[in-house]
Amino acid sequence: MPNSGSESAPAFDLNVGAGEPLLEVVDLHVEFRTREGIARAVNGVSYSVKPGETLAVLGESGSGKSVTAQAIMGILDTPPGYITKGEVRFCGQDVLTLPEEDRRKLRGASMAMIFQDALSSLNPVFSVGWQIGEMFRVHEGMSRKEAKLKAIELLDRVRIPSAKDRVGDYPHQFSGGMRQRVMIAMAIALNPRLLIADEPTTALDVTVQAQVMDLLAELQRESGMGMILITHDLGVVADVADICAVMYAGRIVEHADVHELYANPAHPYTKALLGSIPRLDLKGQEVAVIKGLPPTLTNLPTGCAFHPRCSYVKDRCRSEEPPLYSVNEHRDSACHYWEEVLDGSPE
Ligand code: SF4
């Protein structure tokens, strides 16, 4: 298994049984203590990812999707961010209870993350080959020469043309799409079991977006790694994800198989998000916008946090927070009226 024999592997078993989750986030709560008050960024999020599976986490900015990922990776800025409750089980081990040294070993080697902005994530004063090679020098104790050869191999694997000639180039000498490939090369260098991709294609044009997503899917097929894809781009999700978690105001409001969710959403927010995608087959028709703004996390609305923007709202929604109702075996919705939403009324 990848990493299990590495010197830098953490002191717990990284194998998971067939059908067992690689990652389980259980009732996670994260808050930011700010001058304006306590911002409740993540409020009881639970989800899981199996080996080879892709979970897409969707939602507007500020919905808590990236903060949840930072908490999983152990890169939350503390202060002001604090995990106040919950567990993050990786291969069965709650990593929140591990010493920082063990978490550092997990990062990069077993769990890796790629970010939206490759230019600011790469160091401008070191060549890309040096930066990729560092993963092998630090985690696996390789010599500079060995690490450089590994860097060339990886640049080749993420399809950087003439990898051997480009290994000494600096980040600014690459296009946006190529820089994102360099980031992916760094992320997959040590064969992580889990890859978190936070808006990996947002800064790229549509053709390059498709190439990067294809590359991630191919790498995933080869290695069987689990992937969390954080995005607000529903087009990307439909192509690559197995399961979707839709987040709003720090909670999961719908969790479903991607095909079921696209075919018939069971939460008004998911329905509104899907309705806001421009469609070529409905030329001339206005694209729907979700009325209002996401709530302020220091002052969440009472009851259902989506109620000020919801076209299905009833009195009960203003006072009673909906639990995550089970719609079927593979699907949950945090809406008191999910049956009406599935029926299509009242819109
Ligand atoms: Fe809308 Fe009420 Fe459902 Fe919330 S609980 S999404 S306000 S219908």
Question: Which pLDDT does position 28 carry in this prediction?
Answer: 97
Confirm whether pTM is higher than 0.75: yes
Distance CA 133, CA 131 (A): 5
The residue with greater pLDDT, 344 or 42, is 42
Is pLDDT above 70 for 305?
Answer: yes
Compute how many other C-beta atoms are within 10 angstroms of the C-beta atom of residue 252.
29
CB-ligand 1 contact for 312 (6 Å cutoff): yes
Is pLDDT above 50 for 16?
Answer: yes
The CATH number assigned to the domain with range 23-241 reads: 3.40.50.300
Question: Which pLDDT does position 138 carry in this prediction?
Answer: 86
Domain with CATH 3.40.50.300 in the chain: 23-241
Kindly state the average pLDDT of the residues 18-22: 85
pLDDT tens-digit readout, 241-278: 999 999 999 999 999 999 999 999 999 999 998 887 66
Is pLDDT above 90 for 213?
Answer: no
Candidate from 309, 314, 327 with most ligand 1 atoms within 8 A of CB, to mutate: 314
Question: Which pLDDT does position 62 carry in this prediction?
Answer: 87
Ligand 1 atom at minimal distance to the Cα of residue 338: 3
CB-ligand 1 contact for 183 (6 Å cutoff): no
pLDDT tens-digit readout, 153-200: 999 888 889 999 999 999 999 988 888 889 888 888 888 999 999 988
Distance CA 289, CA 199 (A): 21
The residue with greater pLDDT, 162 or 206, is 162
